[in-house]
Chains A and B, each alone.
Chain A
Amino acid sequence: MALRYYWEDFTPGRVFETGTRTLSEQDITRFAREYDPQSYHTDAQAAKSSPYGGLIASGWQTCGVTMRLMCDGYLLETSCVGSPGLEELRWLKPVRPGDALRLKTTVIESTPSGKHANRGTVLFLWETLNQNGEVVVSMRGRQMFLRRTPA
Chain B
Amino acid sequence: MSHKYYWEDFYQGQVRESGGYSLSEQEIIEFARKYDPQPFHTDKDKAQQSYFGGLIASGWQTASLCMRMICDVYLLEAASLGSPGVDEVRWVKPVRPGDTLHLKTTVLETRASTSRPDMGTVRSRSEVYNQNGELVMHMSGVGMFRRRSPGAG
Contact = CB atoms under 8 A, between A and B. Distances in A.
B90 A89 contact: no
Interface of A: 31, 34-38, 51, 58-61, 63-65, 67-68, 71, 75-76, 80-91, 141
Interface residues of B, number: 30
SS of A interface (majority): mixed
A34 B83 contact: no
A81 B71 CA distance: 32
B87 A88 contact: yes
Contacts of A37: 68, 71, 76
A48 to B, nearest CB: 14
B67 A81 contact: no
B85 A38 contact: no
A36 B71 contact: yes
A34 B31 CA distance: 11
A140 B99 CA distance: 29
B84 A90 contact: yes
B2 to A, nearest CB: 15
Interface string B15-43: 00000000000000001001111100000
A58 B87 contact: no
